[in-house]
Every structure is written in C-alpha cells, then in structure tokens.
C-alpha cells in the first residue's frame, strides 16, 4: 500500500490514532464522573426517603438516647407495650406515610419514587401505590455500596440497580426492611444524550484535528516535496539546478544546503568527466583522420609499391599514437579507480635516475642540452619502473622545452626523511596562469605542440604515480628562467 509509505499519511494515521485514544479516554472519564455524580444524587434522594420512612416508623424501643435520630422511634400510640424489645417477636407495626412525606413519593414525579416496607418476618407492611411487584428481596450486594452500615443505627444498607430501577434496601435494627426505589430511566436517557453529545463533540474535534494536522503536516512537508522535485530534475540530467533554500534555520533548510553542496560537487565532477571524455575523443580524432585520409587517398587509384609503403607507415604512426594515448588513458583510469598495483620494494632511487638520464641522453645530445646531476645513493620504497617513468617524463620535458644548448639540472637529496628530486631546465618557463594547471589532464601549457603526438597526459600520469607512492609533485617557474619540478617521496630507512 503506497499510502502507508507516505510520511504524510503515516503521520496523519498516528496523529489520528493518538487523537482518538485521547478523546476516548477523555470521554470515558467524563462519562464515568457524570454517571457517578448522578447515582450519588439519586442515592442521596433515596437515602433521604429511607431516613424519612425510618423516622416515621418510630425509634427502636430500646433506644433511650434522646440524641439519637428520632426517626427510629416508633410513635407512642403504635406501641402496644413498653416491654423489652425482641426483634424477632416484635409486633407488627402499622405504617402510614406521614402527609409531609407524600410529596416525596409523588407518582407523577419523573423518577417515580416508591417504597415497600416489610416486617422482619417478611410480611409486607406497606407499599406505595406505584411500587413495582418485587418477587424476592434481592440479597445480592452487587449494587454500589455507597453507605457503610452504621452500628447501633442501621443494621445494613444495600444499594442495588435492577433493570431500570435503583433501590436502597435498609434493614432496621428491629428487622424491618425499608425498600425505597425509583426508576432511573430519565437518568439513563440523560446518560444516552451525554454519550451522544460526547461522541459528537469527539468526532468534531477529531475531524478538526485531522484537518488541521493534515494542513500542518503538508505545510511542514512542503520543503521536502520541493527538494524531491528539484532532485528529480537533477536526476533527469539538469545538474545545474539547486534547491531553493528559503529557511536555512530549520532542519530541512540544512538538509537542502547539504544536498545543494553535494549537487554542486556532482556537477563539477560530471563536468570534469565530460571534459575528460571530450578531450580523449579529441585526441583520438587526429590519428583516425590520418588513417582515413591516408587510406582513402591510397585507394583512390593504383599506386606504386613505394606509395603504399608510405601510406602504411603513416597509418602505423597514427596507430602508435593512438596506442600511446589509450595506454595513458588506461593507466590514469586504473590510478583513479585505485586498481593500479604498485610494487613496494626498496631500491636505490639515484640509480634509477641515472638510468633514466642515460636513456634520454641521445635526445639531449640532439638538442645540445647538457644534463648535470648531483646525487648520492638514496633508498626509496616503491615501484622502480613506475618512478622511472616519472623521471623519464620529467627529463624529456626538460630537454624538449629547453633552449638550444641549455642545461638540465637533476638533484637528489634527503630532507627530513624525504627523498627530494629536483629537475630544473633552462627553458623559457611556464606562465603563472598555466603553472597551476600543468598537472591537469590534456592541459598543454604550450598549445602549439599539437602535432608532436603528446596528448598532455604525461604530467597527469606523473602526478598519479607520485601520489600513489604517498609523495608530492610540484612545479615552479619564473618566466624566462626555466621550470623546476620537485618530487618528494618518503625515503625508506
């Protein structure tokens, strides 16, 4: 179900559930309180009537305490003798509802109060006209025992609800049982109305709460939908888009800022990748053009064997150039991906450097450039072949970009645990704006050297190799006074 995966709907659901629980708890408590209050009121009314009847029945014969309530004292005229009381053997007393109490048992009252008085032996002494037929005296104590039986006064009091009636059954010390009851139908009706009202109010509150909560949640989640809309556009390819960070204070604003900076870095990386691909394609275009024009020209008509040879040679040169480029690209890709496996063996760096110098000596001689070196044996741990590639590259550059009969100074020294190699030429130097970019891929400080077969990847590869050895490479130059490349590698102890 998609709807349950939406934060908005989940929030709404929880919110609604909590609201329902709170409202239900509140409603139930209110209902209970109201119900208790109503029963208390009814019971008070009933007790008032019980008291009145007991009073009317007269005091127990034993009781001489004038301070005792008078209602237990039977009227003197109804007393056959003044002998010692015996509850079981007491004569049946007559009971007439005193006129002042008639209003309390008005049959027209909506509560329809009634009474039944029984003698201790179970005979009915009196009953109000509206009293229901009671088959048995309910002896259960299920009802709310609101009154504790009081010694010397009340033998026992039972409060019970039977059907739509509520009764209080009071047993007098002498044994008479007074039952006073009323119908609670009007109260129940009021209860039902209360339940209805509470439910209605609860529903309205729930509705308002859900609507308000929904509005609030939508408002809060609005930045998220704007973030996701922007992210969607970016994922569709428009990397230049950014999330509008209106409120930087909130958590969402911070998230948007973080996302924006991520997008910016992505865009840069993407642009670099694109530039790299475009440059690589560009570098491949020229040799392919050579092969195409050479072969198409050769095939245009019958040729001499020598012409074909020339064509094949030109194609070979072009293919070699492409091979070199592809190797460079692959090497860079491997270094980028961390897949290049470097040997980690200690070797004498000065020996490697002099080997390289020997290798480029013919080129130097051709240009009339002198290689001056100042080295002492120095152990370095790493891949000697790869580092030799770096040194050869730097030396070749230093010779090629030198002035005729210039000088290349090579110096290897140990500086605070580092092997420092300096290769300095006496060429015309590199302009400051180019200097910072010489290690960039396909970057050529001298843009005229397009036809030399150099793609501008040499120094990038040097940097990748040196970096993979945990070292640094940097270039320094002052226009007119040559260029110096400095490599620092951790020396092995």
Partner 1 sequence: MRILIVEDEPDLLASLAQALREEGYAVDTAANGNDGLFNAEGTDYDAIVLDVMLPGLDGWEILKRLRKTKKTPVLMLTARDQTRDRVKGLDTGADDYVVKPFDLEEIFARLRALIRRSANKTTNLLEIGEVKIDTAARNVFFKDKPVELTAREYSLVEFMALHRGEVVTRTQLYEHLFDENESSLSNLLDVHVSNVRKKLGAEFIVTRRGHGYCIE
Q: Which residues bind partner 1 (CB under 8 A)?
A: 278, 281-283, 285-286, 288-294, 296-298, 300-301, 311, 314, 317-318, 447-451
Q: Between residues 310 and 379, which has the closer beta carbon with respect to partner 1?
A: 310
> From the CB of 451, what's the least distance to partner 1, in Å?
4
CB of 240 to partner 1, least distance (A): 16
CB of 316 to partner 1, least distance (A): 10
- Classified as helix, coil or strand, 174 is coil
Nearer to partner 1, 206 or 290 (CB): 290
User: Which pair of structure tokens corresponds to residue 3?
Assistant: 């709807």
* Three-class DSSP category at 421: strand
Provide, rounded to whole angstroms, the least separation between the CB of residue 456 and partner 1.
Answer: 12
Could you give the CA distance from residue 251 to residue 233 in angstroms, rounded to a whole number? 22
Chain center to CA of 277: 39
Name which of 127 and 367 has its Cβ closer to partner 1.
367
Indicate the length of the chain as a whole number. 493
How, if at all, do strands 156-162 and 124-127 pair? Answer: unpaired
Asked if 482 and 425 touch (Cβ cutoff 8 Å), the reply is yes
Least distance to partner 1, CB of residue 327, Å = 20
Instruction: Give how far the C-alpha of residue 431 lies from the chain's centroid of Cα atoms, to the nearest Å.
Output: 52
d(CA 493, CA 487): 18
**Considering beta carbons, is residue 18 or 278 the nearer one to partner 1?**
278
Contact 159, 43 (CB under 8 A): yes
CB of 280 to partner 1, least distance (A): 11
Cβ 353 vs Cβ 393: under 8 Å = no
**In the complex, minimum distance from the CB of residue 295 to partner 1, in angstroms, rounded to a whole number:** 9
Q: Which of 424, 352, 340 is nearest to 381 (CA)?
A: 352
Tokens of 288: 């392919």
Q: Kindly tell me which of 230 and 311 has the beta carbon lying closer to partner 1.
A: 311
For every residue of 207-246, DSSP letters joined together read HHHHHHHHHHHHHHHHHHHHHHHHHHHHHTT-TT------
Q: For partner 1, give the closer residue by CB, 282 or 344.
A: 282
Question: With respect to partner 1, which residue has the nearer C-beta, 173 or 427?
Answer: 427
């Amino acid at each position: 179900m998609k709807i349950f995966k939406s934060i908005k709907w989940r929030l709404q659901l929880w919110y609604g559930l909590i609201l329902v629980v709170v409202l239900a708890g509140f409603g139930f408590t209110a209902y209970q309180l109201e119900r208790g209050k109503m029963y208390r009121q009814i019971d008070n009314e009933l007790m008032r009537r019980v008291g009145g009847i007991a009073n009317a029945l007269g005091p127990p014969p034993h009781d001489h305490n004038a301070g005792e309530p008078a209602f237990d004292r039977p009227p003197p005229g109804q007393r056959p003798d003044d002998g010692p009381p015996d509850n079981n053997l007491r004569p049946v007393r007559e009971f007439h509802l005193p006129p002042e109490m008639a209003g309390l048992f008005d049959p027209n009252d909506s509560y329809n109060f009634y009474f039944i008085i029984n003698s201790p032996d179970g005979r009915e002494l009196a009953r109000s006209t509206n009293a229901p037929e009671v088959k048995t005296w309910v002896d259960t104590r299920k009802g709310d025992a609101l009154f504790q039986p009081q010694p010397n006064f009340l033998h026992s009091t039972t409060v019970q609800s039977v059907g739509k009636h509520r009764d209080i059954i009071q047993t007098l010390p002498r044994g008479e049982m007074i039952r006073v009851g009323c119908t609670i139908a009007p109260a129940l009706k009021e209860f039902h109305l209360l339940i209805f009202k509470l439910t209605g109010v609860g529903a309205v509150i729930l509705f308002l709460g859900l609507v308000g909560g929904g509005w609030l949640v939508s408002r809060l989640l609005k930045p998220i939908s704007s973030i996701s809309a922007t992210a969607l556009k970016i994922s569709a390819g428009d990397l230049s888009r950014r999330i509008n960070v209106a409120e930087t204070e909130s958590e969402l604003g911070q998230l948007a800022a973080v996302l924006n900076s991520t997008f910016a870095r992505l865009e840069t990386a993407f642009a670099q990748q694109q530039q790299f691909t475009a440059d690589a394609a560009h570098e491949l275009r020229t040799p392919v053009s050579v092969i195409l024009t050479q072969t198409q020209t050769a095939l245009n008509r019958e040729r001499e064997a020598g012409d074909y040879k020339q064509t094949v040679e030109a194609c070979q040169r072009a293919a070699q150039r492409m091979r070199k480029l592809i190797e460079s690209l692959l090497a860079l890709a491997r270094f980028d991906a961390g897949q290049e496996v470097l040997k980690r063996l200690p070797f004498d760096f000065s020996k490697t450097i002099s080997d390289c110098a020997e290798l480029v000596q013919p080129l130097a001689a051709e240009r009339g450039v002198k290689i001056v070196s100042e080295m002492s044996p120095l152990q370095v741990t790493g891949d000697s072949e790869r580092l030799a590639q770096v040194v050869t590259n730097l030396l070749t550059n230093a010779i090629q970009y030198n002035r005729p009969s210039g000088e290349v100074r090579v110096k290897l020294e140990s500086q605070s645990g580092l092997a420092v190699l300096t290769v300095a030429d006496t060429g015309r130097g590199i302009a400051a704006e180019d200097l910072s970019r010489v290690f960039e891929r396909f970057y050529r400080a001298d843009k005229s050297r397009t036809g030399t077969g150099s793609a501008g990847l040499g120094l990038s590869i040097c940097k990748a190799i040196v970096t993979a050895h945990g070292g640094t490479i940097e270039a320094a130059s002052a226009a007119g006074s040559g260029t110096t490349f400095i490599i620092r590698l951790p020396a092995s102890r």
